[in-house]
């Protein structure tokens, strides 16, 4: 039989070079000798024989018109289009019936295409990637990918022997999207996209940028995954989240790396799964009194030592610890226990691994083409091109995705400073100014504002945190007033000054008291989080306990004092795992924390102190109601640098609701030290970090009596014993 298509077309279909296979394969109308006829073509390289099944009619055999596996048949006596299946007799194995992927029409809606083209698709994950579904009663998976510069894109996977000729996709040229419904591709099947560029280069293979699941490293395939099967039980939490996470509520964050918080003892360095973490981590965090868990990035990443910051699968919770529904279970259990979950989110850069986003369609689709804009040389990563609609759709949808599908309560945005400045960590000649000739990254600024506006609009109560280390103004101010729109900014200045001070020998601290007091000059310019994060306990910086000067007793005393200072300073608190019980060694992502240290009383005491600080910060509204306003803070005395003593007042919304904080940064006991206070009467010592309960020397008073008399610009004063290297929190007894 003479074929209805030419030799060049046959060859291009057979060798996978055709750019529009939907125009050839499947059911088509042709004109032959002035008459319209219906023809079916199919490419099945595994088929020794191929037949077409139309209803209950007898199977009709297709003619093989290429050695590679292209088949064709003109359907006799039919003028209208019809549904059909293919019966495949393979060279090896049993016969099987299958629906033809090229018999299905496009499933993309005009609305999706319009939003995508505008760069305003906030839930692109609902159609991009791979979605198991039924079409015309047929089970399969619907695939969509963005590759505007590609000549041909195919879905390859375990369901088609990874053959890029079998399932070449349909392209929407205006939007650069490719789509295809593949019958019988099902949850659990592996897949990737094979991409051919207009150049005569060999096709290359990429993982799905929108994949919900991926193989565990070193394997890199995407996994077809259904996300809608999990039944959530956190309705009460979600309904009340807006109240739990208000600015006037206590927020105390336990930052952790899932892979090294605790390992399985029965396996050599075995990971705990998401479900095992729910069983072990949540009760611990609850007992410690933290309000939130913050997870270092859990999006899929190929390289363990990157700690998750070099991502290849932005929509896939890493399979190191289980599947996506396992992670949903973990978040659900956190919420049932009254614990919020914050994710570390990385829109500043992405990994260069070949299967990832880099040069996805043969061009800089996600990154800038010019390395002066598109590469982070310090980190060996690519920088997103925030001006592209594809990038805006991708990143905004990703932020929404975590809050929508996984009920995440907040996103901490990594490396914001690197996004804001075009010359970040670059020498002269290594960067390109913006259109105004200055260093600000206008597209990134617009993106961050859009991200915050969308997230806060879609999910009231969800929090965003910026790791921003410069003096950029308005990071945590509303976008309508010119700010970036974050809820909180990490107070890196406070962290650096405080650690620089506390690491000094106490004998030298009197010369550096300004490092403690300087933070109050700008403390209310933003809404701040006070972070002692993972970054401070790696790369030869020492652990929190090892940073402290002096002998072991002084190290523990200094750290207890430091933690009380953090909890009483205006701002929300963040502490990295291990710091709460005094890890001696730096954090190592390959090993569990040194939990055996809790066999010793000093480590137990430090852990108990953190528990009690969390308890007090929750109970005492003076410590959390007014964190970003001078109404919540007043210095008592910062002038006694010779003794390295400072004191201040923290207030709640009710002016009679206040606490007095006294900090002694030397190992000297001060007896009968006079300090001004707002009222007379009895003051109770709520916390004393030198208590024997915490491993201290137990110096100090349990109560003190205040008398009227001007002192330190206050109407009353107390005479109090101040323990060595210790912090005190005092509360007047006549208040509740």
Contact 35, 90 (CB under 8 A): no
pLDDT confidence of 266, banded at 50, 70, 90?
A: low
Of the three residues 186, 206, 223, the one that is the final residue of a domain is: 223
Compute the distance between CA of residue 71 and CA of residue 629 in angstroms, rounded to an integer.
Answer: 75
Angle at 602 between CA 596 and CA 603, to 5 degrees: 40
607 and 715 belong to one structural domain: no
pLDDT at 33 over 80: no
Task: Decide: helix, strand or coil at residue 682.
Answer: strand
Neighbouring residues of 238: CB distance < 8 A, sequence distance ≥ 6: 335, 407
Task: State residue 442's pLDDT score.
Answer: 95
Alpha-helix runs per DSSP H in 71-229: 110-118
66 and 133 belong to one structural domain: no
- In the numeric block, the tokens 């807006």 are attached to 242
Contact 549, 593 (CB under 8 A): no
> What DSSP assignment string belongs to 484-552?
---SEEE-HHHHHHHHHHHTS-GGGGGGGTHHHHTHHHHTTSS-EEEEE-GGGGSTTS--HHHHS-SSH
Task: State residue 735's pLDDT score.
Answer: 58
Neighbouring residues of 56: CB distance < 8 A, sequence distance ≥ 6: none
Of 306, 312, 307, 298, whose CA–CA distance to 341 is shortest? 298
281 and 195 belong to one structural domain: no
- Tell whether the torsion through CA atoms of 285, 287, 288 and 290 is positive or negative: positive
Of the three residues 577, 592, 622, the one that is the final residue of a domain is: 622
Q: What is the mean pLDDT of residues 363-387?
A: 91
pLDDT at 35 over 60: yes
What is the CATH classification number for the domain harbouring 181? 2.60.40.10
Residue 282 lies in a domain: yes
Residue 380 lies in a domain: no
Direct distance between the N- and C-terminal alpha carbons of the chain, in angstroms, rounded to an integer: 96
Contact 702, 721 (CB under 8 A): no
Neighbouring residues of 185: CB distance < 8 A, sequence distance ≥ 6: 130, 140, 141, 155, 157, 159, 191, 224
What is the CATH classification number for the domain harbouring 715? 2.60.40.1180
The number of domains in the chain is 4
Residue 672 lies in a domain: yes
Residues 296-329 pLDDT 10s? 999 999 999 999 999 999 999 999 999 999 999 9
Q: What is the mean pLDDT of residues 267-279?
A: 88
Of the three residues 585, 602, 622, the one that is the final residue of a domain is: 622
Q: What is the mean pLDDT of residues 618-629?
A: 95
584 and 627 belong to one structural domain: no
Neighbouring residues of 247: CB distance < 8 A, sequence distance ≥ 6: 487, 527, 627, 628
Q: Which percentage of the chain shows pLDDT scores above 70?
A: 99
pLDDT at 579 over 80: yes
142 and 73 belong to one structural domain: no
pLDDT at 544 over 80: yes
628 and 649 belong to one structural domain: yes
411 and 328 belong to one structural domain: yes
Q: What is the mean pLDDT of residues 349-373?
A: 93
Residues labelled as active-site residues: 414, 467
* DSSP assigned state of 423: T
Residue 374 lies in a domain: no
Residues 129-175 pLDDT 10s? 999 999 999 999 999 999 999 999 999 999 999 999 999 999 988 88
Count Cα atoms within 13 angstroms, Cβ side, for 732: 20
pLDDT confidence of 518, banded at 50, 70, 90?
A: very high
Task: Decide: helix, strand or coil at residue 95.
Answer: coil
498 and 455 belong to one structural domain: yes
Neighbouring residues of 191: CB distance < 8 A, sequence distance ≥ 6: 130, 143, 155, 156, 157, 158, 159, 185, 208, 221, 222, 223, 224
What is the CATH classification number for the domain harbouring 508? 3.20.20.80
Residue 382 lies in a domain: no
Alpha-carbon distance values, 51 to 59, 96, 98, 166 (Å) = 6, 11, 11, 17
657 and 618 belong to one structural domain: no
Q: Rg of the chain's alpha carbons, rounded to an integer?
A: 32
Is the bond preceding 249 in cis, omega lying within 30 degrees of 0? no
Alpha-helix runs per DSSP H in 15-120: 110-118
Task: State residue 79's pLDDT score.
Answer: 74
Compute the distance between CA of residue 359 and CA of residue 206 in angstroms, rounded to an integer.
Answer: 10
* DSSP assigned state of 424: T
Largest Cα–Cα separation, the chain: 113
pLDDT at 37 over 90: no
Residue 91 lies in a domain: yes
Residues 56-106 pLDDT 10s? 889 999 999 999 999 999 987 777 888 899 999 999 989 999 999 999 999
Task: State residue 678's pLDDT score.
Answer: 97
Structure tokens at 25: 């394969």
Of 544, 578, 552, whose CA–CA distance to 255 is shortest? 578
Pairing of strands 129-135, 63-64: unpaired
- Indicate the range of 148-162, 195-209, 456-470 predicted with least confidence: 195-209
Burial 252-267 (b: 16+ CB within 10 A, else e): bbbbbbbbbbbbeeee
**How confident is the prediction for the chain on average, in pLDDT?**
94
CA torsion 423-428-430-436 (nearest 10°) is 50
Contact 505, 555 (CB under 8 A): no
Task: State residue 269's pLDDT score.
Answer: 61
pLDDT at 1 over 70: no
pTM of the shown model: 0.94
The whole domain housing 633 covers 623-732
Task: State residue 3's pLDDT score.
Answer: 84
Residue 143 lies in a domain: yes
Structure tokens at 470: 């410069």
Phi, psi of 591 (to 5 degrees): -130, 160
Contact 263, 269 (CB under 8 A): yes
Angle at 355 between CA 350 and CA 361, to 5 degrees: 85
Structure tokens at 78: 């039919």
195 and 315 belong to one structural domain: no
pLDDT confidence of 285, banded at 50, 70, 90?
A: very high
DSSP strands (E only) in 377-468: 381-382, 410-413, 463-466
574 and 652 belong to one structural domain: no
pLDDT at 199 over 90: no
Task: State residue 99's pLDDT score.
Answer: 94
15 and 86 belong to one structural domain: yes
Residue 383 lies in a domain: no
Structure tokens at 495: 């962290």
Neighbouring residues of 33: CB distance < 8 A, sequence distance ≥ 6: none
């Amino acid at each position: 039989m003479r074929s209805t298509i030419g030799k060049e077309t046959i060859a291009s279909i057979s060798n996978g070079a055709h750019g529009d296979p939907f125009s050839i394969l499947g059911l088509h109308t042709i004109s032959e000798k002035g008459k319209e006829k219906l023809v079916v073509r199919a490419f099945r390289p595994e088929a020794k024989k191929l037949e077409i099944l139309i209803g209950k009619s007898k199977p009709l055999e297709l003619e093989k018109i290429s050695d590679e596996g292209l088949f064709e048949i003109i359907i006799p006596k039919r003028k209208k289009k019809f549904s059909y299946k293919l019966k495949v007799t393979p060279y090896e194995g049993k016969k099987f019936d299958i629906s033809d992927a090229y018999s299905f029409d496009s499933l993309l809606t005009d609305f999706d295409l319009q939003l995508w083209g505008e760069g305003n698709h906030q839930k692109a994950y609902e159609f991009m990637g791979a979605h198991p579904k039924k079409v015309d009663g047929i089970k399969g998976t619907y695939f969509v990918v963005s590759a505007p510069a590609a000549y041909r894109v195919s879905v390859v996977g375990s369901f088609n022997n990874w053959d890029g000729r079998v399932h070449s996709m349909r392209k929407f040229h205006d939007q650069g999207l490719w789509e295809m419904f593949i019958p019988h591709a099902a949850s659990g099947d592996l897949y990737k996209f094979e991409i051919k560029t207009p150049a005569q280069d060999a096709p290359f293979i990429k993982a799905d940028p929108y994949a919900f699941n991926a193989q565990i490293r070193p394997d890199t395939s995407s996994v077809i995954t259904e996300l809608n099967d999990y039944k959530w039980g956190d309705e009460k939490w979600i309904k009340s989240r807006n109240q739990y996470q208000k600015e006037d509520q206590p927020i105390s964050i336990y930052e952790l790396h899932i892979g090294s918080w605790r390992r399985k003892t029965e396996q050599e360095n075995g990971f705990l799964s998401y479900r095992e973490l729910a069983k072990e981590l949540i009760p611990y965090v609850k007992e410690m009194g933290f309000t939130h868990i913050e997870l270092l990035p859990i999006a899929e990443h190929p390289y363990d030592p990157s700690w998750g910051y070099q991502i290849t699968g932005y929509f896939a919770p890493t399979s190191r610890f289980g599947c996506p529904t396992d992670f949903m279970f973990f978040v659900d259990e956190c919420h049932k226990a009254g614990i919020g979950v914050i994710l570390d989110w990385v829109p500043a850069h992405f990994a260069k691994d070949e299967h990832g986003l880099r040069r996805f369609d043969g061009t800089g689709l996600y990154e800038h083409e010019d390395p002066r804009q598109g590469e982070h040389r310090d980190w060996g990563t690519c920088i997103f091109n925030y001006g592209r609609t594809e990038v805006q759709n991708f990143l905004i949808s990703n932020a929404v995705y975590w809050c929508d599908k996984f009920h995440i309560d907040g996103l901490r945005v990594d490396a914001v400073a690197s996004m804001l400045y075009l010359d970040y960590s670059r020498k002269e000649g290594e960067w390109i100014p913006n259109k105004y000739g200055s260093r600000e990254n206008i597209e990134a600024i617009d993106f961050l504002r859009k991200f915050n506006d969308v997230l806060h609009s879609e999910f009231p109560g969800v929090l965003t945190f910026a790791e921003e280390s410069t003096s950029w103004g308005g990071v945590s101010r509303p976008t309508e007033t010119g700010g970036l729109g974050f809820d909180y900014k990490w107070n890196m200045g406070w962290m650096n000054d405080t650690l620089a001070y506390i690491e000094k020998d106490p004998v030298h601290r009197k010369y550096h008291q300004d490092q403690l007091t300087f933070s109050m000059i700008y403390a209310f310019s933003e809404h701040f989080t006070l972070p002692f994060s993972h970054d401070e306990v790696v790369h030869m910086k020492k652990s929190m306990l090892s940073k402290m000067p002096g002998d072991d007793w002084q190290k523990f005393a200094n750290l207890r004092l430091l933690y009380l200072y953090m909890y009483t300073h205006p701002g929300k608190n963040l502490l990295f795992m291990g710091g709460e019980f005094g890890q001696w060694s730096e954090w190592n992502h390959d090993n569990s924390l040194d939990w055996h240290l809790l066999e010793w009383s000093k480590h137990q005491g430090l852990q108990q102190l953190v528990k009690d600080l969390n308890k007090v910060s929750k109970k005492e509204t003076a410590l959390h109601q007014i964190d970003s306003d001078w109404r919540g803070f007043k210095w008592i005395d910062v002038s006694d640098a010779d003794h390295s003593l400072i004191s201040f007042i923290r207030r709640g919304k009710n002016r009679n609701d206040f606490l007095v904080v006294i900090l002694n940064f030397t190992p000297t006991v001060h007896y009968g030290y006079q300090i001004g206070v707002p009222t007379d009467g009895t003051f109770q010592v709520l916390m004393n970090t030198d208590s024997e309960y915490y491993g201290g020397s137990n110096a100090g008073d349990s109560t003190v009596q205040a008398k009227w008399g001007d002192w330190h610009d206050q109407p009353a004063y107390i005479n109090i014993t101040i323990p060595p290297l210790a912090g005190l929190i005092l509360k007047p007894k006549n208040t509740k």
